[in-house]
Amino acid sequence: MITLKEALKLSADEIKAFRQMLKVKIEEKKELNAYIGMDESGEGIPLLIKDNIQVKTWSVTAGSKILQGYIAPYDATVITKLRACGIAPFGRANMDEFAMGSTTESSCYGKTLNPLNLECVPGGSSGGSAAAVAAGIAIAALGSDTGGSIRQPAAFCGIVGMKPTYGRVSRYGLGAYASSLDQIGPLTQNVEDAAILYDMISGYDPKDSTSVEMDYTPVSENLNPERKLRIAILPHFLNDASAAVKKAYDKTVAVLKTQGHEIIETELLDAKYDISAYYVTATAEASTNLARYDGIRYGTRQSGNNLEETFVKSRSEGFGEEVKRRILLGNFVLSSGYYDAYYVKAQKVRRLIKEDFERVFEKADLILSPVAPDTAYRAGSLEDPLQMYLSDMYTISVNLAGLPALSLPVAIAENGMPVGLQLIAKAFDEQTLFDGALGLENALKEK
């Protein structure tokens, strides 16, 4: 598969021929179930789009039955930006329903398979995006990251996935899961492509009240993989990681040392606080955001004998089990008598998590962390919801603190599956994030 950087140099005729070739490859690998729809009418370099990002005239369903039949009336801001750069939305990527999951098994379109091992999950919720890029049936893709939903599938599929700083990329046109956590970001074959795609979609947007208005300097034009950085490592964070992840982490630290980076050992708050604060915050916001899907204002209607029965039938039949679970949890923590005990307390813990990162960044430029406790799981192995929630332990703190992070493959485990680690940077310091990631990627290629 050609890279995004290479695709940007193609002529109009070459792009047309490439699109035809890509359709054939997608058909050959349809068993992956990474694509759930294609648009053959557009022109430009084809890009895969997660099914919760608005593309005008497309059916956009967030992987849910309740949005079947909905046609997007407008383009998300990121799509408008891509079109201006000669990029054309080409297909819809499968995903966990409403981005609530870590395996891409909860989609109403069926599960997506990991192209590196068809018995394993590709991660989630942007599993379709990651699987397609890894399988060579997408140049690159857009995903969304609420608690690791770009970085974890990227790690499971052996590609690069990047979550921008909260407020750097417009959320206008993104189907909301948890509004204070969601961010759109790139999934690509390499770090440089991620920087290019990140530049295309970044910048202030007055249509998004959470978008930050500040000067923007393109990252991809200023990449410097030779920079020497202060990189914090977290030895105690590996206590819950598998032997494969620990081995890859130690190997990566050794590579960083040989590159001349300063390695700083430090600690962050116990991940149990991250998990608690995240799942209270995310479910509370999800229950509010998904209240609009009632069969009247939005969503497929299942008629009842009265208004209340219509609401109940529409939501009961339209939402999957995991979405219902998170709505119930969210309503519980926001309910009278529990709001202060859970939601308010979670916001206080969230502030402590943010301050903890700020403390580390007083001495370090980047933090090296695992992405997931282990390599890709076998399909169906995370039937217990609590197991799935715990699998997010290394990624969710980044969303709670609003920081940028990038996952890249660093090793292959004994089971043949890739191990991904993430670099985390200060808010709005994507330049340092990409410089460090590109330097590490280059060094790993030389090994």
* Displacement of CA 111 from its chain's centroid (Å): 17
Of 64, 106, 125, 170, the active-site residue reads: 125
Catalytic annotation present for 125: yes
Structure tokens at 251: 């190997």
Q: What is the dihedral of CA 37, 43, 47, 49, to 10 degrees?
A: -50
Name the 3-class secondary structure at 274.
helix
Catalytic annotation present for 149: yes
Nearest alpha carbon to residue 421 among 400, 402, 401, 443:
443
- With residue 50 as reference, give the H or E element that holds it: strand 45-50
Of 64, 149, 211, 314, the active-site residue reads: 149
Q: How many CB atoms lie within 10 A of CB 242?
A: 17
**Which residues partner with 230 through β-bridges?**
262
Structure tokens at 138: 């997408």
Cis amide prior to 125 (ω within 30 degrees) = yes
- With residue 370 as reference, give the H or E element that holds it: strand 366-370
Of 50, 81, 111, 163, the active-site residue reads: 50
* Integer CA distances (angstroms), 200 to 184, 244, 332, in order: 12, 35, 40
Q: How many CB atoms lie within 10 A of CB 72?
A: 18
Q: What is the dihedral of CA 244, 250, 252, 255, to 10 degrees?
A: -140
Residue that is written with structure tokens 């479910």 in the block: 283
Catalytic annotation present for 381: no
Nearest alpha carbon to residue 81 among 172, 187, 175, 212:
172
Phi, psi of 442, rounded to the nearest 5 degrees: -65, -40
CB-based contact 38:90 (threshold 8 Å): yes
Catalytic center residues: 50, 125, 149
